[in-house]
Amino acid sequence: MHEFSVTKSILDLCVQEARKNGLKRVKKIIVKLGKFTGFSAEAISFYFTSLEAGTVCAGARLVFVEIPIRIKCPKCGFEGQIEEPIFVCPECKGERLDLVSGREFYIESIEGN
């Protein structure tokens, strides 16, 4: 996946929010990234270093919080984390599972002054 365009989106969003909240410099950006997305934290960090220069986010620490894949089984009530995106209940083998988390990709917060 070429993370260039999503990295630009992250940067643009942070610059916008910094301006809105009167931040002159962004020191830290926290991004929540679900394990079941097509995006890579490493690739985003890589593009970030080339895009941040000259913006209010230059030098900011980009922190990724990985969100695991959690499923809930409406049949037996099992709720838990799965490592592989295989949608079969580990308890009752039921196949109607709800995805509780794992598809997130959002900017949680920015810190600065």
Partner 1 sequence: MKKISILKPVLVSNQERARENRKFFDRLGSLVINVIAAPGAGKTSVIESLGRRLKSEYKILVIEGDIRGSLDSARIKKLKIDAIQINTVTACHLDAFMIGKVLPRIRKKYDLILIENVGNLVCPAEFEIGEDFKLAILSTAEGDDKPLKYPLLFHLARVAVINKRDLLPHVDFDPRRAKKEIRKRNPRAVIFEVSAKTGAGFDPFVEFMKKELRKKR
The residues binding partner 1 (CB under 8 A) are 1-2, 5-6, 9-10, 13-14, 17-18, 21, 23, 27, 31, 36-39, 84-88, 95-97, 105-113
Shortest separation between residue 10's beta carbon and partner 1, angstroms: 6
Shortest separation between residue 88's beta carbon and partner 1, angstroms: 6
CB 24 within 8 A of CB 58: no
112: tokens are: 């600065």
Residue 111 burial (10 A CB sphere; 0-12, 13-18, 19+): middle
Quick one: 77 or 85, whose CB is closer to partner 1? 85
Shortest separation between residue 53's beta carbon and partner 1, angstroms: 20
User: Which positions ≥6 away from 101 have C-beta within 8 Å?
Assistant: 34, 67, 68, 69, 70
Quick one: 75 or 77, whose CB is closer to partner 1? 75
